[in-house]
Structure 1
């Protein structure tokens, strides 16, 4: 039996909306064990994906990564990405305030690679191991048009989010399959 996205996916998917603020999403990321959220519209359609990398990029100064305060002053929570920020970058507070209220739709990746529930394990492995893109999580969408069981980029005509396949899910499945063959 060939494993499919339906066999691997987590169906309880945490998502964000396109109009959620950057500061809110940063706070949510600080409290979860994964590194990104699918962005879904009011109809449950995937319109983007936002990752820690997308958000940290907003607050980088040149090639440095920094501590990112969450919420409003006094900052009681932080995301710890690195510590190399010089005192010459005192405008960071202004930069943080400027970006905190931006909608996620401004920073999300709109060209999302998704899979159908019927997508096979080999296709999923190819997507997660792609050298061009750094994909950690694949949203699984149930499209009204099921002609293709492979991957695709998200369009407005595609269906709703039904699950997500993370790299860890695939690794566990491969491990379990290998153990079962012993």
Structure 2
């Protein structure tokens, strides 16, 4: 089993020039949390996620962080309280190009990448990658999420058990 066996081939994408407001509207209508960003030749130039868009509208100076707990007896937990203030002006960024917030140089895999390579990337807590664009000859041909990989592994196990 390799990347092409578990990938979703019908990939919804956005372009670097798509506006933030358009991408937010599209994310509201789908059941996933990000898009590969492709140029006119279907080359992946970035990835944009809900997290990237939330960061765009997060107001750091309105959040009060309070550590609670007494180490080493109790682990310290940090709580965030959103202080009263002006509402976030979404319209201020709605016309910005998605290229201004996307993650550039995303991690990608080739269609023949092994399951072990996929596991190394998707299970690495330091990188915290949830989606891998799949490339063939440098062009986007699919995408693999953690869920796709888990479904593939479950199906492979089921097939091995039935044999």
Same fold (TM over 0.5): yes
**Aligned counterpart in structure 2 of residue 140 of structure 1, from 119, 134, 137:** 134
Determine the structure 2 residue equivalent to 1:165.
144
Within the alignment, does 1:8 sit opposite 2:6 as a pair? yes
**Aligned counterpart in structure 1 of residue 37 of structure 2, from 21, 36, 39:** 39
Cα RMSD over matched residues? Answer: 1.5
The whole-number CA distance in structure 1 between the counterparts of 2:159 and 2:136 is 30
C-alpha displacement of 1:109: 0.4
The whole-number CA distance in structure 2 between the counterparts of 1:89 and 1:162 is 45
C-alpha displacement of 1:91: 5.0
Determine the structure 1 residue equivalent to 2:157.
178
Whose strand proportion is higher, 1 or 2?
2
Q: What SS does the aligned partner of 2:103 have?
A: coil
Q: What SS does the aligned partner of 2:125 have?
A: coil
For the Cα contact (< 8 Å) 2:133–2:144, is it kept in 1? yes
Determine the structure 2 residue equivalent to 1:125.
119
> Which of 1 and 2 has higher RCO (CA within 8 Å, sep 6+)?
2
The whole-number CA distance in structure 1 between the counterparts of 2:57 and 2:82 is 11
Aligned residues between the structures: 143
The whole-number CA distance in structure 2 between the counterparts of 1:176 and 1:138 is 20
Within the alignment, does 1:102 sit opposite 2:96 as a pair? yes
**Aligned counterpart in structure 1 of residue 110 of structure 2, from 111, 116, 125:** 116
Determine the structure 2 residue equivalent to 1:70.
none
Q: Which runs of 5+ in 2 are unaligned?
A: 64-80
Determine the structure 2 residue equivalent to 1:155.
none
Q: Which runs of 5+ in 1 are unaligned?
A: 65-83, 144-158
The whole-number CA distance in structure 2 between the counterparts of 1:123 and 1:89 is 46
Residues 136-164 of structure 1: CA deviation (Å, up to 9, x unaligned): 11000112xxxxxxxxxxxxxxx110111
**Aligned counterpart in structure 1 of residue 47 of structure 2, from 34, 46, 49:** 49
The whole-number CA distance in structure 2 between the counterparts of 1:118 and 1:55 is 32
The whole-number CA distance in structure 1 between the counterparts of 2:98 and 2:127 is 20
Larger Rg: 2
